[in-house]
Amino acid sequence: MGTLSGLDRSAGRDTELGPRFCSVRQQTEELCEPLTPEDMMVQSCPEASPAKWHLAHTTWFFETFLLSEFLAGYRPFHPDFIWLFNSYYNAVSDQPLKKLRGSFSRPSLAEILEYRRHVETAMVRLIDSGMPSEAERRVVLGLHHEQQHQELLAYDMKNAFWSNPMHPAYETGELPASKAGELIWVGHQGGLAEIGYRGEGFCFDNEQPRHKVYLEPFELASRLVTCGEYLDFMRDGGYERPELWLSDGWDTVTAQQWRAPLYWFQAEDEWRVFTMRGAAGLKALLNTPVCHVSYFEADAFARWAGKRLPTEAEWEVAAAVLPVEGNLLESGLLHPAAAGEQGGLQQMFGDVWEWTASAYLGYPGFAALPGALGEYNGKFMCNQMVLRGGSAVTPASHIRSTYRNFFSSATRWQFCGMRLANR
């Protein structure tokens, strides 16, 4: 892969913006270092995109929303890239069907890396020139957009390697042995509270405006649901009991013939789990958080356990007082880790995105960004559920207690799991 070694990491009027731009761009390419050019062509499911496409699209974002508007005399790298690497911004251009991204053998990986260098050189020039405040805001948005695609790239490569009959590993080495701490219930008195982003730093438009919510008293489990606990659900016929499932969930389970989380499989009468480090026996992972379950599965498990999933407001109020730290991308584990022995709420950040019982809707008074960038979040506020907290492949500087992720109820290729709520 190419590098950013030729760029001035101190560039930019904002002394932090230039180095951060270079750092984020470099991290994307570092995630691709274990991959071959052939790996980077694979699109293994409709939700996924090839790694090569992620490299191009994150570059397209800076070219489309910054360089074309704010850098005088900028010449686009290729006239067709404006539509070829557009994801869903209809106000910008038409775009190819997502399911066809894996068919793009051209442009080559080498040309896409050249595209990245072309845009990065121009972006450093723009940052160094003294940008208007709107351009600075867009640079920061573009960096968070790229960090989102870093996480998506990890999802997509895991699914691509899983789909390969040889089940190759992305990373070498074994996962560490672990044991889970005891589950305790951590209470909250409820009452009137505020949620939503407050501060002067970056947030997505869907995290605002900050507003008041009223909560009944509730309890959250101190840790995430483990693989061992989920195995108990399976052994108790969880996938064969329609009374545990939402109607759409039961239809999905029946149609897809789900009998276990994604990436679980049986070999020689033993459950095994496919990870970024290859297949591992489930026995070694029983104390780690269950991962790659849909909202439907999380909801059914909670019902089986006699509990429920927390609302996003409950989750945020509980998380707001905690430090933003945990098993995130920079830990290098690339898989959920077991909770420790200490008391209180654990694993609120990292490990797995936690399904909540809340539909993804705009907050009271929500207003999308103007123009094409308004398509970033707002137009997806239908038929999606909210997840909170980040995962083992979320960049640490990208997550916060107000961050709202969202997916449709049947998706499970993302690193997602659950925490139970009581009362």
295 within a domain of the structure (yes/no): yes
What is the structure's pLDDT at 255? 98
Residue 179 lies in a domain: no
Strand partners, 405: 387
CATH of the domain at 367: 3.90.1580.10
Any domain includes 1: no
Specify the pLDDT at position 177: 77
Q: Do the domain assignments include residue 209?
A: yes
Tokens matching residue 161: 């390697």
CATH number of the domain residue 149 falls in: 1.20.120
For residue 14, what pLDDT is reported?
A: 56
118 and 59 inside one domain: yes
Cβ(141)–Cβ(203) under 8 Å? no
Tell me what pLDDT residue 1 has: 47
C-alpha 145: how far from chain center: 11
- Read off φ and ψ for residue 267, nearest 5 degrees: -140, 120
Cβ atoms of 388 and 323 within 8 Å: the answer is no
**159 & 238 share domain:** no
Rounded (5°) CA angle 341-328-260: 75
Is residue 172, in this structure, part of any structural domain at all?
Answer: no
Whole-number Å distance between alpha carbons of 215 and 191: 5
Taking the chain (423 residues) in runs of 10, the rounded mean pLDDT of each run is: 38 71 97 97 94 96 95 94 90 88 93 97 93 94 97 97 96 84 94 94 94 98 97 98 98 98 94 96 96 98 98 98 96 95 91 98 91 80 97 97 97 97 93
Residue 2 domain-assigned?
no
SS3 95: coil
Peptide bond into 242 cis (omega under 30): no
Residue 275 sits in the same domain as residue 147:
no
Q: Are residues 199 and 262 in the same domain?
A: yes
pLDDT for res 15: 67
Residues 287 and 330 in one domain: yes
**pLDDT for 373:** 81
Residues 252 and 323 in one domain: yes
Question: What residues contact residue 9 under an 8 Å CB cut-off, 6+ apart?
Answer: 18, 19, 22, 23
Residue located via tokens 């399911």: 99
For residue 305 the two structure tokens come to: 């356990």
Q: Are residues 207 and 289 in the same domain?
A: yes
CA 309/CA 419 separation, integer angstroms = 7
Q: At a CB cut-off of 8 Å and minimum separation 6, what does 243 contact?
A: none
Confidence (pLDDT) at 7: 38
- Residues 54, 199, single domain; the answer is no
Residue 302 inside a domain? The answer is yes
User: How many domains are there within the chain?
Assistant: 2
- Specify whether 202 is located in the same domain as 128: no
Q: What local confidence, expressed as pLDDT, does residue 120 receive?
A: 97
* 5 within a domain of the structure (yes/no): no
Residue 403, domain extent: 185-422
- The whole-angstrom separation of Cα 45 and Cα 162 is 11
